[in-house]
Amino acid sequence: MAKVTVLTAVYNAEQFLPRCLDSLKGQTLADCQFICIDDGSTDSSYEILKRYASEDSRFHLLRTPVNSGQAIARNLGLQFAQGEYVAMLDADDWFAPDTLEQAYHALKRKNASCAVLQLIQHYEEDGREVPYPIRSEVTAWSGEEAFRLSLDWSLHGLYVVDAAIHKRFPFDTTCRLYSDDNTTRLHYLNSSRVVLCEGKYYYRKHAASMTNACSIRRFDHLKANLSMKRQMETLDITDKQSVLDLYERHRWLNLLGLYRYYQQNRVSFTAEECQEIESLFAQMLITIERQRIPWRLKFRLGYYPYQSYRVFRFWENLYLGVRKMVGH
């Protein structure tokens, strides 16, 4: 059995892929397995992957028949994972040489299920490298504590986790964007102990990434949130009702934020896209459990979870109009 398996889904990443693969090849931890999944690339990515696999037996190459998205590609790789622990590395990112060694020893030394990596944000336009600020006074958490911190990303989602947990909760394929968030939170919630380690993950920041773009796909976040809620309802966890209350509040605030984003950027969408977006809001409103929203929140102007989209839209637009009048 390998100590750590790393999953890397690749789609048209020829520009950045060698640096990613070199960082795996140079890991100081022995007995690693690197599973690379080419997700229907049309550039030279597959040829690059074949070269590395032919030169180093730790690399294992898989290929999807068509481009399916990172979650589906990673889940294909997860089926072949032989490591005691599993990590993911995006094809345009890279590890420091001792990343996996630091994580593995932290997991063993601290009897943890999950080791969070030090995230270094690399800004592509000017080469700046900025550590991600973990907003916590401690460096070890229970699974529920880590889950709570992940809701506003006080604790990010790049880590090495017990393979049994990862295989129980594979990557969520609800939608191409944002459902990765669910996977992270389910892993944290089902970990006995989560610790911060010294291993570094270098995350390449692109100004034009899909999550930053003004795209209808941004509203996939609503679908991903609902998927997370439904998965949480099936879990056998301590203080389940409190955790569900907390997540429903998070889901409601996210829905409000996305509606306000939609109104501010409405001219960027076609008439057909506006119709699709508004239909999605109407569908999601009826899934909000109003009794789980704290009364102090829902009785503020613009925060009551009306289940009728027509009523919701009236009060939200009134709220936005008032904010505009007072200069917020």
pLDDT tens for residues 207-218?
645 455 689 999
> Could you give the CA distance from residue 79 to residue 37 in angstroms, rounded to a whole number?
12
> Could you give the CA distance from residue 38 to residue 26 in angstroms, rounded to a whole number?
21
Q: What is the pLDDT of residues 196-208, one digit of tens each?
A: 999 999 999 876 4
Q: What is the pLDDT of residues 7-60, one digit of tens each?
A: 999 999 999 999 999 999 999 999 999 999 999 999 999 999 999 999 999 999
pLDDT at 328 over 80: no
Hey, where are the domains in the chain?
2-205, 216-325
- The confidence score (pLDDT) of residue 207 equals 62
Taking the mean position of all CA atoms in its chain, how far away is CA 128?
23
Q: What is the pLDDT of residues 219-264, one digit of tens each?
A: 999 999 999 999 999 998 888 999 999 999 999 999 999 999 999 9
Q: How many other C-beta atoms can be found within 10 angstroms of the C-beta atom of residue 152?
A: 10
Q: What is the pLDDT of residues 115-150, one digit of tens each?
A: 999 999 999 888 899 999 999 999 999 999 999 999
SS (HEC) of 26-42: CCCCCCEEEEEEECCCC
**Report field, pTM of the whole predicted structure over 0.85:** yes
Q: How many other C-beta atoms can be found within 10 angstroms of the C-beta atom of residue 50?
A: 15
Q: How buried is residue 94: exposed, middle or buried, by Cβ count under 10 Å (0-12/13-18/19+)? A: buried
Instruction: Provide CATH code, domain 2-205.
Output: 3.90.550.10
179-189 vs 143-150: helix axis angle to the nearest 10?
160
- The confidence score (pLDDT) of residue 176 equals 80
SS (HEC) of 105-117: HHHHHCCCCEEEE
> Could you give the CA distance from residue 43 to residue 220 in angstroms, rounded to a whole number?
27
Rg (CA), the chain: 21
Q: How buried is residue 38: exposed, middle or buried, by Cβ count under 10 Å (0-12/13-18/19+)? A: buried
- The confidence score (pLDDT) of residue 213 equals 67
Least confident window among 27-31, 80-84, 174-178, 264-268: 174-178
Q: What is the pLDDT of residues 88-118, one digit of tens each?
A: 999 999 999 999 999 999 999 999 999 999 9
> Could you give the CA distance from residue 251 to residue 229 in angstroms, rounded to a whole number?
9
